[in-house]
Structure 1
């Protein structure tokens, strides 16, 4: 599993209805994309859920590198680049994935928490803690799914979860979920990924 996200931070007075409209028009394009586990079309709106910014920030869990590459190099990503410019694309290597306590429920919000891997920490201990945190999040009432991944370039962990209500049992940045494409969700490997 590979995790990926890009963020488009928009002006404070930006009409976020434009983003909602965009997702309603094009969100279905990845509903059957080969190699994609899940794409959560995410948005933060200034003032909602404590967000200081307006932001469009889709989050992906990929089953295959080929699917991710075909999306970036020859797929719908070019439309976003044409409309908004080329954003920095963050990637993390999968550590763990779990279906949540409410796996069939529609996702209302997502929570993303990034954390630095402490200097001098035993890497296997940090990664095992991330795996346990994924299981803990997934077991909470209203959790649709949970995942964790690591970026060894920045030595950063990311914890990601989807929730069926807007008061999630997770710490981090809260995003509104506009749409979820999940053609390969059933193929995402469960549990520890190494």
Structure 2
């Protein structure tokens, strides 16, 4: 599996209802997209839950690179780039993805990007992140938990979908509203 996310930082006075309408009108276009496990249409509003700016930042989980490549070279991504610009697309090799039934009910998402220290034992880190993702869904009531890494910049990603935000969030976790989840 592979995950990806791109993000558009929008002006502080940007009318975020434009993003909400875009998600409502176009979100279902990726329902059933070949190779897509899920796409979470995410937005953040400046000043809300610690957000430093307005942002549109969808997160994708693919069963392999073919679906991702088809999407990035397809007309939907072309239309997106014509509306918002050419984004940098972060990708991670997925160590583990834990999905609960009903991820379409997600209303919030959290994302952590953490540096992996040089010479970290990746086998142990992978096992620990897998266990954390599993417990996050079974015990913390997340609807989805994805753990992955990117070995160019040695970055770990922890992505979660929630119906209700937990009372305690990891320090530095980005919090998003979920407008739609495609499967």
TM over 0.5: yes
> Is 1:46 aligned to 2:46, yes or no?
yes
1:180 equivalent to 2:178? Answer: no
* 3-state DSSP of counterpart to 1:15: coil
* Cα 1:124/1:31, change in 2 over 3 Å: same
Q: Is the 8 A contact 1:137 1:169 kept in 2?
A: no
Give me the whole-angstrom Cα distance separating, in 2, the residues matched to 1:11 and 1:29.
26
- Partners of 2:166 and 2:156 lie apart in 1 by 23
Q: Greater shift after overlay, 87-96 or 163-172?
A: 163-172
Note the C-alpha offset of 1:64: 2.5
Q: How many residues align?
A: 180
Q: Does residue 1:152 correspond to 2:148, yes or no?
A: no
Residue of structure 1 in register with 2:67 after alignment:
67
Aligned-partner SS, 1:21: helix
Matches of 2:147 and 2:28 in 1, distance apart? 25
Larger CA deviation: 159-168 vs 72-81: 159-168
Deviation at 1:133, TM superposition (A): 1.5
Distance (whole Å) between structure 1 residues aligned to residue 176 and residue 97 of structure 2: 19
Superposition CA RMSD, Å: 1.4
Give the TM-score normalised by structure 1: 0.88
Q: Aligned-pair distance for 1:169?
A: 5.1
Q: What is the SS of the residue equivalent to 1:143? A: coil
For residues 148 and 75 of structure 2, the distance between their equivalents in structure 1, rounded to whole angstroms, comes to 24
